[in-house]
Amino acid sequence: MTTLQSNAPTGDIETAWDRHKFDIKVVNPANKRKYTVIVVGTGLAGASAAASLGELGYNVLNFCFQDSARRAHSIAAQGGINAAKNYQGDGDSVYRLFYDTVKGGDFRSREENVYRLAQVSVNIIDQAVAQGVPFAREYGGLLANRSFGGALVSRTFYAAGQTGQQLLLGAYQALARQVHDGKVKLYTRTEMLDVVVHDGHARGIITRNLVTGKVERWAADAVVLATGGYANVFFLSTNAMGCNVTAAWRASKRGAFFANPCYTQIHPTCIPVSGGYQSKLTLMSESLRNDGRVWAPKAEADCWDSDKGRVGRKPTDIPEAERDYFLERRYPTFGNLVPRDVASRAAKHACDEGRGVSYEGRGVYLDFSEAIGRLGRDEVGERYGNLFEMYERITGDSPYETPMRIYPAPHYTMGGLWVDYNLMSNVPGLFVIGEANFSDHGANRLGASALMQGLSDGYFVLPSTIGHYLAKVGVRAKSTDWAEFTEAEEQVRARIDKLLSIKGKRSVDSFHRELGLEMWQHCGMARNKEGLAGLLERIPQIREEFWENVSVPGTSGELNQVLERAGRVADFLEFAECMALDAYTRDESCGGHFREEYQRDDGEAQRDDENFQYVAAWEFTGVGNKPNLHKEALEFRYVKPSQRSYK
């Protein structure tokens, strides 16, 4: 075990980023065109990084597996983006955003990174507006803000319920401009399958063209991964179907450390599963809890009956006295507005008691009848009409007539590849940005902070810090003929051939679903040592069966969606073990990691700062082998750790 260095500047945190930018090396403008940078991913982080690097004069090779750069899953973010602009004059500041983010992360993030994130947040809004991102505005023509996720100030900028879409299109258009100018070469429908490390530095990648199946080598001076999170390890999540851990995991297999994989965020208000065929979960905006009341029936007879495949009485027929408004009961002060993790666990708790009201007993009611009575149907429609429509489209029920059913779902992953203050992993030349790295959210992410981090990394941080690395190493020879390229390509091909040669009986999805269910049950919203121990035994078994009995029809030399999925599921089957081990090892509860053994008397998370105030970074040592743990100690010089309370 080694101790990792964050390389963050010491001294006054408020000037740290500026001092750092001055201290690091800068590439001579005339030399920039001599460097090639690979950027994998075209989401908020990837597209903004590729566009900004192209503008600076670097040659950029940008890859995505979707058919267009505009499809990345950042597009689905609804709520908004935080920025410490203090346009509302309500007392917001960079320091307050920094404070809220460190506290919200349950004291498991790196203070210097978070401070920089808060600082840069204001530039993001300027940048986006200049690009033509149509944020919501007030009648006076100035930008509108709302308060989000229980923040005490209104610092969230938004574009209706489509903020992620608008910001992504802004970055995508900036990228399109660089593609037009020839500074960025964009390769769509191209999936990264390995990182190539030469002389200890990341110098290239191996890709597969998803249309022709061609496996190709790409050499560069640095590699940037902006490949998103791994919530699809649960199979059912609010992530897009294509979201995967492959790029990050293959990098991890080449030596990059995977940090805090057990930190996953569960969003409380998603539409519950309706059957075994379900392919994904749909998020409903958190704002619904502003007026909706969460409850479960008191009588078991009114809950889900698996034999009958339905609930007892209709929710509208259950009298007030026989309903349990469990959030209001347990958290009288915050009521239905408790933070995401608390609300999620309370719903799970009710369902575990057998009081669920949806398919397989997984769901609770979110009731608007009181709000409709208080505000009138029109006002409720004004506030939530779009969401009600979406709910009705998916479930066939109208929330005006009958309570919604909701259940928590995996939504975001705070863990990711370990990076230092420069966003470089422990493999020199391998940078990781956006959700793919572990850096800024600690053990729990606040609402409207994901968009902020992706764009902060891509527009403002990486373009500076990557120059430091490139200037330091200088212009070096590049070749795709290096032995490491040949070796990596052979391994990629061998893996593809192996998958195609099994010709087993089970579909890829059936394995993914099985893994997802195990992960959800034992490494989901709540975990315990025993369950995790069992899970650590179960994962290798599923993996073994996968490699013996998976069915992947077709060939490698054509468009083959099953083969694509098979490769990703195979990586999830390896990664899951690392994630479960991290959860098993972290004997405390913090943020999104809730270990049932470590809770206070009132059922809240019990942190153990003495023993676990560190980043757990795992070094891959072979499939099925126990990875090595490396620690980065966390120091809190400004925001002193305290226990959260929402009573």
Q: Residues 53 to 92: which contact other proteins by CB under 8 A?
A: 55, 66-71, 73, 75-76, 85, 87
Which run of H or of E encompasses 543? helix 529-549
Nearer to other proteins (CB atom), residue 464 or residue 606? 464
Among 131, 521, 556, 599, binds other proteins (CB under 8 A): 131
Q: Which of positions 238-257 make contact with other proteins (CB under 8 A)?
A: 238, 240-242
Nearer to other proteins (CB atom), residue 455 or residue 532? 455
Which residues contact residue 297 at a Cβ distance below 8 angstroms, ignoring those fewer than 6 apart? 303, 311, 312, 313, 315, 318, 322, 323, 324, 355, 357
Between CA 10 and CA 8 the distance in angstroms is 6
- Site membership for other proteins, residue 22 (CB under 8 A): no
Among 173, 402, 556, 606, binds other proteins (CB under 8 A): 173
Q: Which residues pair with 437 in a beta bridge?
A: 417
Nearer to other proteins (CB atom), residue 384 or residue 598? 384
Q: How far is the CB of 160 from other proteins (least distance, A)?
A: 7
Tokens of residue 603, six digits: 């059922």
Which run of H or of E encompasses 44? helix 44-56
- Site membership for other proteins, residue 306 (CB under 8 A): no
Which run of H or of E encompasses 422? none
Length of the chain: 647
Q: What are phi and psi of 627, to 5 degrees?
A: -70, 155
The site map against other proteins for 383-422 (x = CB under 8 A) is: -------x--xxxx--------------------------
**579 touches 261 (CB < 8 A):** yes
Which run of H or of E encompasses 224? strand 222-225
- Site membership for other proteins, residue 93 (CB under 8 A): no
Q: Which of positions 463-482 make contact with other proteins (CB under 8 A)?
A: 463
- Site membership for other proteins, residue 508 (CB under 8 A): yes
Among 126, 199, 378, 544, binds other proteins (CB under 8 A): 126
- Site membership for other proteins, residue 40 (CB under 8 A): no
Q: What are phi and psi of 522, to 5 degrees?
A: -115, -15
CA distances from 356 to 114, 298, 345, 367 (A): 38, 10, 13, 15
- Site membership for other proteins, residue 459 (CB under 8 A): yes
Interface region with other proteins, contact rule CB under 8 A, candidates 174-182, 294-302, 492-500, 576-584: 174-182
- Site membership for other proteins, residue 510 (CB under 8 A): yes
Q: How far is the CB of 214 from other proteins (least distance, A)?
A: 14
Q: How far is the CB of 141 from other proteins (least distance, A)?
A: 3
Q: What are phi and psi of 617, to 5 degrees?
A: -115, 120
Q: How far is the CB of 404 from other proteins (least distance, A)?
A: 15
Question: Strand (E) positions, 426-557?
Answer: 430-432
Among 198, 201, 280, 298, binds other proteins (CB under 8 A): 280
Nearer to other proteins (CB atom), residue 134 or residue 354? 134
Interface region with other proteins, contact rule CB under 8 A, candidates 25-33, 197-205, 498-506, 571-579: 498-506
Between CA 82 and CA 92 the distance in angstroms is 11
- Site membership for other proteins, residue 503 (CB under 8 A): yes
Q: What's the number of CA atoms in the CB half-sphere (13 Å) around residue 316?
A: 10
- Site membership for other proteins, residue 506 (CB under 8 A): yes
Nearer to other proteins (CB atom), residue 38 or residue 128? 128
Tokens of residue 235, six digits: 């199979």
Q: How far is the CB of 143 from other proteins (least distance, A)?
A: 6
As a whole number of Å, the end-to-end CA separation of the chain is: 40
Q: How far is the CB of 71 from other proteins (least distance, A)?
A: 5
Between CA 451 and CA 128 the distance in angstroms is 12
Among 176, 337, 375, 471, binds other proteins (CB under 8 A): 176
The site map against other proteins for 557-596 (x = CB under 8 A) is: -xx-xx----------------------------------
Q: What's the number of CA atoms in the CB half-sphere (13 Å) around residue 301?
A: 4
Which residues contact residue 341 at a Cβ distance below 8 angstroms, ignoring those fewer than 6 apart? 265, 266, 444, 525, 591, 592, 594, 605
- Site membership for other proteins, residue 313 (CB under 8 A): no
- Site membership for other proteins, residue 162 (CB under 8 A): yes
Percentage helix, strand, coil for the chain under 3-state DSSP, each rounded to 5: 45, 15, 40
Interface region with other proteins, contact rule CB under 8 A, candidates 120-128, 405-413, 434-442, 491-499: 120-128
Among 154, 209, 480, 507, binds other proteins (CB under 8 A): 507
Binding residues with other proteins: total (CB under 8 A) = 84
Question: Which three-class secondary structure state does DSSP give residue 623?
Answer: coil
Kindly calculate the radius of gyration of the chain based on its CA atoms and give it in whole angstroms.
Answer: 24
Q: How far is the CB of 69 from other proteins (least distance, A)?
A: 7
**563 touches 500 (CB < 8 A):** yes
250: left (phi over 0), alpha (psi -120 to 50) or beta: alpha
The site map against other proteins for 205-234 (x = CB under 8 A) is: ------x-----------------------
The site map against other proteins for 524-563 (x = CB under 8 A) is: ---------------------------xxxx---xx-xx-
Among 17, 63, 431, 460, binds other proteins (CB under 8 A): 460
DSSP calls for 166-187: HHHHHHHHHHHHHHHTTSEEEE
DSSP designation for 303: S
Nearer to other proteins (CB atom), residue 331 or residue 460? 460
Q: How far is the CB of 46 from other proteins (least distance, A)?
A: 14
Q: What's the number of CA atoms in the CB half-sphere (13 Å) around residue 562?
A: 16
Q: How far is the CB of 128 from other proteins (least distance, A)?
A: 8
Q: How far is the CB of 148 from other proteins (least distance, A)?
A: 18
